[in-house]
Copies of this chain bind each other. A is one copy, B any other.
Amino acid sequence: MKKLDKTYILETKPLFLAGAGVVSHIEGQGPLGNEFDKVEDPSMGEDSWESAESAFHKEATTLALKKAGRTESDISLAFSGDLLNQSMSTCFSLKSFNMPICGLYGACSTMALSMAVGALFVECGLAENTLAAASSHFCSAEKQFRQPLEYGGQRPPTAQRTVTGAGAAVISSSGSGPHITAARFGRIIDYGVTDENNMGAAMAPSAADSIWNFLKETNTKPEDYSMILTGDLGYTGSDLLLQLLIREHNCDISKVHNDCGILIFNKEEQDVHCGGSGCGCSAAVVCTYIHRLLREGRLKKVLFVGTGALVSTVSPLQNDPVPGISHAVLLEA
């Protein structure tokens, strides 16, 4: 391991051995529908949306282990989190597995955070295999952060649709597959955004901070990457990110930038407003579509920057702003 200021270069190149993504119908009808391992009913046959989210998490975890050819006893430590109060989805999913758990909280940046810590544990020989996972659910998120669906609330154009689904990755010291070659943890950036229906704006400044500093510290340029992939900025946030990087650093990433929240839905045909969001959005996209493109060598070098809006169920009611945090991992074919 080599450290460049705040960026870790992983010299043993831990493997992103396998990934699995399980989503609900609307994501299954989107442009990446065929990429996901399973498309399930949003209820998952459970009695509550929270239990349903947990069932998506459990299914993705089970499939990722299977695809990696690993059992729960092979996992030295599982890193996971979600958006629900007290990470309820993660806790009730992972209690079914006999493995040590390190619960994480990074809002929608959780998948990148879990992959970053999981890869560092493998890099340093602390683990042979780690699990990294995250989940979200449209219905549990609307109920918790906005209004129960039954209220029929209107959503403004800047609102994003929380993805119903989960993604899980097995990171390993042995096997074959794409590699995780760098990781960088973000700081909290607060531009004072208070509109809880515009999470893209809340997260864009931290994404700009993480991307700019990653490029600067590694002495690379946007064109050195096949893709700079943000987690869930959606259309508004992505637009703001590109503007911020140009205005503040004269750095144009528009040719290589994409966003999991944009990739997962078809804006013209699906009623999703500003794109997808939620921990499950980047988790499901990175663990399926992106993993496949890397595995097949169709993407060489993807800087995956998970973006998190640090909004709680309480803070908007107290007129607190929504700070952002973005964590980055570099994925290479």
Contacts and interface: CB of A to CB of B under 8 A. Distances in A.
Given A84-B312, A323-B91, A117 B102 contact: yes
Interface stretch (A180-188, A250-258, A284-292): A180-188
A35 B323 CA distance: 34
Nearest to A325: B101
Interface string A86-116: 1110111011011111111111000001000
A313 B170 CA distance: 30
Interface stretch (A43-51, A55-63, A229-237): A43-51
Interface stretch (A14-22, A120-128, A238-246): A120-128
Nearest to A90: B105
Nearest to A6: B100
Interface residues of A, number: 58
B51 A318 contact: yes
Nearest to A50: B314
A101 B187 contact: yes
Interface in A292-323: 310-315, 318, 320, 323
Nearest to A113: B102
Count copies of this chain in the complex: 2
A149 interface: no
Nearest to A210: B100
A183 B323 CA distance: 32
B315 A99 contact: no
A120 B113 contact: no
Contact of A85 (B47, B97, B102, B313): B313
Contact of A101 (B85, B87, B102, B188): B188
Given A86-B310, A91-B323, A95-B190, 5 more contacts: A84-B314, A91-B312, A100-B187, A102-B113, A103-B106
27 contacts: A1-B124, A1-B125, A6-B76, A48-B314, A50-B314, A50-B318, A85-B86, A85-B313, A86-B105, A86-B107, A86-B311, A86-B313, A86-B315, A92-B315, A92-B320, A94-B188, A95-B188, A95-B310, A97-B187, A101-B188, A102-B104, A103-B113, A104-B104, A105-B105, A117-B117, A124-B124, A144-B314
